[in-house]
């Protein structure tokens, strides 16, 4: 199939992605193909470092010198099916940094990031074959980041607690249920997050997470806390062991190591018993509470 362009585009050499930084709870990865320590309780921040030669952009796109161009990140998650875009910022000559924050529950599978340059405003003079409509796409490049294996999306259900009897029908905001503590059972197949649609704030958050970003932080931190507590209750969990992919052992070990790197289960069990305040402070720091 032949793709016919409606206008001239910016040359590949005029816009180059120098680096794509993925920040996972304070740990930075440079242009990764895979994020090994991610799960659906973990937020991501992505920052693209893009080098732009503005003169070459204007020249190859047939635009007047000084024409305003916009730079943004457009994304799609294969696991959640969600898509969106960052705020568009005006392109400047040289290095440009553009970033976007994700809640863990927005993502899954493979995250596709497109670095997109668009026309911000209508040119003062229309030239043949040059873009003239604001928003016209002039350049795009793509980067894919694998977050998890196929089929391992964190299961989430939106239900009425009053109708289902979950949590005794009480107006709790959410509930995390673990069906198994066996380390070799399926991880995501034996745990589920239930969001209570009876709760007004939960309904608002489910409809549009941007309306209640504070709730997203608290939800993420609470799920992180409950997974760690489940890990501390699991018999014979060894954070240094290699468990089958997507197993309960892998999920619990990954969560434990992210929150308490280099520590043993026995150490953290003792901390929880003897210094619960210190234990909670560690989880706040690692789990992104009020981040």
pLDDT attached to residue 96: 96
pLDDT attached to residue 153: 52
3-state helix, strand, coil in the chain (%, to 5): 30, 30, 40
pLDDT attached to residue 149: 46
Question: What domains are defined for the chain?
Answer: 12-146 (2.60.40), 156-287 (no CATH)
Angle CA 100–149–30, to nearest 5: 40
Cβ proximity of 143 and 111 under 8 Å: no
Tokens of 102: 């994700």
The neighbour count for residue 218, using CB atoms within 10 Å, is: 16
- DSSP per residue over 205-232, as a string? HHH-GGG-HHHHHHHHHHHHHHHHHHHH
- Is residue 2 over pLDDT 50? no
* pLDDT, greater one: 157 or 123: 157
pLDDT in tens, 62-114: 888 888 999 999 999 876 678 899 999 999 999 999 999 988 778 877 889 99
Most confident among 114-123, 124-133, 228-237 (mean pLDDT) = 228-237
pLDDT in tens, 102-117: 887 788 778 899 999 9
Question: pTM here?
Answer: 0.54
Q: Of 86, 83, 67, give the one whose Cα is nearest residue 134.
A: 67
- Is residue 174 over pLDDT 50? yes
């Amino acid at each position: 199939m032949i793709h016919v362009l409606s206008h001239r585009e910016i040359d590949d050499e005029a816009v180059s992605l120098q680096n794509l930084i993925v920040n996972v709870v304070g740990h930075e990865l440079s242009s990764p193909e895979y994020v090994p320590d991610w799960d659906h309780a973990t937020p991501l921040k992505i920052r693209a470092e893009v080098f732009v030669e503005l003169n070459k952009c204007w020249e190859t796109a047939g635009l007047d010198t000084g024409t305003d161009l916009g730079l943004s990140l457009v994304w799609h998650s294969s696991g959640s099916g969600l898509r969106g875009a960052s705020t568009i910022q005006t392109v400047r000559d040289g290095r440009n940094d553009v970033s976007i924050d994700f809640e863990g529950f927005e993502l899954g599978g493979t995250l596709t990031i497109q670095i997109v340059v668009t026309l911000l405003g209508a040119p003062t003079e229309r030239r043949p074959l040059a873009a003239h409509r604001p928003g016209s796409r002039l350049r795009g490049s793509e980067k894919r980041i694998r977050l998890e294996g196929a089929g391992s999306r964190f299961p989430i259900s939106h239900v009425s607690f009053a109708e289902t009897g979950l949590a005794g029908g009480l107006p709790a905001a959410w509930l995390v249920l673990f069906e198994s503590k066996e380390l070799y059972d399926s991880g995501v197949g034996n745990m589920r997050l239930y969001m209570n649609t009876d709760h007004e704030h939960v309904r608002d958050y489910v409809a549009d997470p941007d309306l209640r970003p504070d709730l997203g932080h608290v939800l993420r931190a609470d799920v992180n806390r409950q997974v760690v507590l489940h890990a501390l209750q699991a018999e014979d969990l060894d954070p240094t062991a290699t468990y089958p992919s997507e197993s309960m052992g892998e999920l619990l070990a990954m969560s434990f190591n992210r929150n308490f790197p280099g520590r043993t289960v026995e150490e953290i069990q003792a901390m929880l018993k003897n210094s619960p305040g210190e234990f909670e402070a560690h989880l706040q720091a690692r789990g992104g509470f009020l981040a």
